[in-house]
Amino acid sequence: MPRILNQIDFRHVRGDLFGGLTAAVIALPMALTFGVASGAGAEAGLTGAVAVGLFAALFGGTPTLISEPTGPMTVVFTAVIATMLAAYPEQGLAMAFTTVMLTGVFQVLFGLLRLGGYVTMMPFTVISGFMSGIGLILIIIQLPALLGHPAPPGGVLGALMALPELFDRLSPQELTLGLVALGLLILTPRRLRQWVPPQLLALLIGTLLAWFWLGGDAYRNIGPIPPGPPLPQLPTFTPEMLQTMVINALVLAMLGSIDALLTSVVADSLTRTQHDSDKELIGQGLGNLASGIAGGLPGAGATMGTVVNIQSGGRTALSGIARALVLAVVIYGLSPLVAFIPKAVLAGIALKVGLDIIDWRFLRRAHRVSRRGAAIMYGVILMTVFVDLITAVGIGLFIANILTIRRLVDLQSEGVQLLGLPSDDSGATCPHASPEETRILRDPSNGVVLLCLAGPLVFGAAKAVTRQQHLLTAARSLIIDLTAVPHLGVTTSLAIETVIRHASEQGIEVYLTGLNAQARKRLHSLEIDRIIPPERWILHRAAALKRAVADRAGQLRLAA
């Protein structure tokens, strides 16, 4: 019977509890930051941190994974909220939370369909591009808050166009608070980081500085947070917005799945264990479903929280459960104190998150690794920032796959050789050809031509195969050798059929050799055995060559 709950082992209680507590300390400022940044409010970030973290820990497939609202998920959800509120001012926020519920449903379906092993199979240039684009978006949309102003309408473009005016009317006090928070995150010594997470340090020092320097009402703060557990949110949508909700939910589900599974790989490398990708997707889906019902932000596996959890002793899912419960107690017990946290301090924390999301390491080297890859990455970044994530990923994947297919076509074409032609003086031969096989092919009097195929032959090799039929005019016998072909695709099978039919119409005797079970079954399904009799389906290449020479000699004797 498959295991429903995640791996919980009470032999590691002490390490799990300490790991969960440490991860909760880091999660608090991040949850507040993402909640305010999204436009849904600090309570939505806190609720998402508890709901996603608890259910993903209970039902996921990575024992040490810490799940919570993340920068990439927040950026996409911010756009979802803006779209919903612009179209439906009264129902928009409820519809955004319904999108989070749909996100969870899609992730559960991904897991049930066992797509966990395929979710992360994307070109690195595309992943790096849209992650860097998301980091830039997070930085841009936090600049107004850093300068002491509410977010202008229009998303990224609106924020960029409003920057000159915002700089003219900036609040020096709030800008100072944000820069202090950012400076603490960057400059906190490593030794101090081991004892106090810099995010919490920035939150505490920034709030105390604002309170004693400016007073409680002289700066923009989070404001009151409703005490107690959140009320359930019923699914809300209109038929007109259903398509938009489904598309946005799919984007969030894919992004969250990629984020979580990549973090699971990091956890595996630190703990030397192996996670269950499909089970993890189900756990992530249940977490996002619960978060949407409770009015929380969508979330995914968080690398920072996961690494801290493991380094602090977390080894089983009990650490994630403990983190969620500790966070819930702190949130609902200390909610009055949270109200005084300055928004500028949260903007400074969000700016650091955006800077960390940008893939600086690959950006510096991309042009040296591959100019085409770098062009794809920069294109995805620009489209992510100035168009939208769906278009960026879609076009990026399309171009990357086209370039990959082109390269595969070139590689597969190299595995198609026509040997034994009178005009062939290259000295080329099939892999592992014996001296006797080479002698037969280099003797022009035999009239034997060998079509040597190698490698997995999918659609990329089809054109190279069909090109060979125009070179068979001088041949008397054609041997098609599939000894080095582990897989024969449908398109290439049809190309081989075309060559066989063309050769037969020209009076050329055709032989097949080296077929494995898969290739034999595929060619039988095309009824090639009606063209080539069974005695010409020969197991070994050497035997096929000798048979072709013997058959040709017999024909010459009969003709004489």
Q: In order of start, what are the domains of the chain with their CATH numbers? A: 10-359 (no CATH), 416-559 (3.30.750.24)
The answer on pLDDT for 425 being more than 60 is no
Residue 133 CA to residue 77 CA, distance in Å, equals 15
pLDDT (0 to 100) of residue 218: 63
pLDDT (0 to 100) of residue 1: 41
Best CA proximity match to 222, nearest among 336, 339, 386: 339
Contacts of 30 (CB under 8 A, 6+ apart): 45, 49, 68, 69, 199, 302, 304, 349, 353
**CA–CA distances in Å: residue 360 to residues 123, 135, 389:** 17, 11, 20
Residue 72 CA to residue 92 CA, distance in Å, equals 21
CB 301 within 8 A of CB 66: yes
CB 202 within 8 A of CB 170: no
The answer on pLDDT for 123 being more than 70 is yes
Residue 138 CA to residue 349 CA, distance in Å, equals 11
196-204 long-range contacts, CB within 8 A, separation 24+: 197/22, 197/25, 197/26, 197/29, 197/308, 199/26, 199/29, 199/30, 199/349, 200/25, 200/26, 200/28, 200/29, 202/29, 202/345, 202/348, 202/349, 203/28, 203/29, 203/32, 203/341, 203/345, 203/349
The answer on pLDDT for 539 being more than 70 is yes
The answer on pLDDT for 440 being more than 90 is no
Q: Give the end-to-end CA distance of the chain in Å, rounded to a whole number.
A: 75
Stated as kind and residue range, the H or E segment containing 467 is helix 462-467
Best CA proximity match to 75, nearest among 315, 262, 255, 235: 255
For 216, other C-beta atoms within 10 Å of its C-beta total 10
CB 538 within 8 A of CB 512: yes
What percentage of the chain carries pLDDT values higher than 90?
46
Residue 333 CA to residue 557 CA, distance in Å, equals 102
CB 174 within 8 A of CB 342: yes
Contacts of 418 (CB under 8 A, 6+ apart): 424, 449, 450, 451, 452, 468, 471
Under the banding of pLDDT at 50, 70 and 90, the label for residue 323 is very high
- The dihedral region occupied by 281, where left means phi > 0, alpha psi between -120 and 50, and beta the remainder, is alpha
Q: What is the pLDDT of residues 8-65, one digit of tens each?
A: 878 888 889 999 998 998 898 999 999 999 989 899 999 999 999 999 999 999 999 9
pLDDT (0 to 100) of residue 558: 67
The three-class DSSP label of residue 252 is: helix
Q: How many helices (H) and strands (E) does the chain have?
A: 24, 7
